[in-house]
Amino acid sequence: MMRDFRFGFCCKYIPEDGSAQAARALNTTTVTMAYLSRLEPKAAYDKLAAVVSHNLEAFRLQIEHVAGRQKLERLHRLSSDLLPGYTHASCREFYRDPDLRSLIETKLAQIGHFARDKDVRLSMHPGQFCVIASANPSAAANGIAEFEYHAEVMALMGYGEGWHPHGAHINIHGGAKALGAEGIRSGLAHLSQTARNLITIENDEVSFGLDDLLPLVNDVPLVLDLHHHWIMSQGEFIEPDDPRIAQIIASWGGVRPVSHVSVSREGLLPDYDIHSLPDFKALVASGIKPKDLRGHSDLMWNEAVNDLVMRHLSWSDFEIEAKLKNIATEGLAHHVEKRGLSCEQRDKVA
């Protein structure tokens, strides 16, 4: 059983003991632009600075938690909430303040150094409104500005030089389907070199499926989302020996890829056999709406899907997009260890 692979949870830490104090400490918070606009400038600055200071510490504590896990779990997606309103005109002057700027630069440099020292692979994933291909020029400009914000955060952590250094990446969806692959290529051309070296694009359920993104394998690394692909293809579970996997691997240019996985909600399939891959067509025929199958489960409850993930570990790391975050990731890690041990035992007997 190979050991050089990783799982990671996404953005939010959930204490297994339910501790509200730990949840507050390890998770980012935010403040709305509407709230800040109702305050006097000094009060608005103080509020924003307090949120940013908290979020920087939450980043540090999350990565410290991940670094304390076994290597199998040393991958982590950071929240986009770090610097609220960073691209908003009303906050521009606040973020130019020397004291706040110094705090951000110093803390992010320390966080990045710690992550590399502890061999924690990092990523970010802007919200779905952050697209670089849009028929609306204003939306495209806003999407590129938002992506550049994420690239700046990564650069301040020390990931601003070279092609996806230490496996770092910033992942987005394709955007407007009507613009096709050429629209994405056009958007890529408007990114800074740092952003261009960090971007990845994943397949989704409604606009850009895996096959729609494959023409871009020479332009940008592709992130395979197994659940999105299952929805978009109406039931295909892609296997590692599928020829498309080799194209995805090549798109990363020598860096180990990252993929995403989740499962449909437990409550939607309460009596489903955990040892069988979910049958999309049969589920839809039973009356379940495809849009409901898109929802993510709390845990990685389906062992057949977990076994599929294990087969893909030969070429990819995985971000687990289940709602119970680190708890779901730890459960999948235990599944892999259990199955891996069984394989090793069988090999010894053989």
Q: What is the pLDDT of residue 342?
A: 52
Q: Is residue 332 part of a domain?
A: yes
Q: Is residue 2 part of a domain?
A: no
Q: Is residue 66 part of a domain?
A: yes
Q: What is the pLDDT of residue 349?
A: 33
Average pLDDT, the chain: 94
Does residue 347 carry a pLDDT above 50?
no
The string of pLDDT tens digits covering residues 83-132 is 999 999 999 999 999 999 999 999 999 999 999 999 999 999 998 788 88
The string of pLDDT tens digits covering residues 43-78 is 999 999 999 999 999 999 999 999 999 999 999 999
Q: Is residue 185 part of a domain?
A: yes
Q: Is residue 230 part of a domain?
A: yes
Q: What is the pLDDT of residue 348?
A: 42
- The structural domain count of the chain equals 1
Does residue 231 carry a pLDDT above 60?
yes
Does residue 30 carry a pLDDT above 90?
yes
Average pLDDT on 147-158 reads 98
Does residue 350 carry a pLDDT above 80?
no
Quote the domain boundaries for residue 274: 7-347
HEC secondary structure over the chain: CCCCCCEEEECCCCCCCCCHHHHHHHCCCCCCHHHHHCCCHHHHHHHHHHHHHHHHHHHHHHHHHHHCCCHHHCEEEECHHHCCCCCCHHHHHHHHCHHHHHHHHHHHHHHHHHHHHCCCEEEECCCCCCCCCCCCHHHHHHHHHHHHHHHHHHHHHHHCCCCCHHHCEEEEECCCHHHHHHHHHHHHCCCCHHHHHHEEEECCCCCCCHHHHHHHCCCCCEECEHHHHHHHCCCCCCCCCCHHHHHHHHHCCCCCCEEEECCECHHHCCCCCCCCCCCHHHHHHCCCCHHHHCCECCCCCCHHHHHHHHHHCCCCEEEECCCCHHHHHHHHHHHHHHHHHHHHHHHHHC
Q: Is residue 211 part of a domain?
A: yes
Q: What is the pLDDT of residue 339?
A: 84
Q: Is residue 170 part of a domain?
A: yes
Specify the pTM. 0.94
CATH number reported for the structural domain that contains residue 94 in this entry: 3.20.20.150
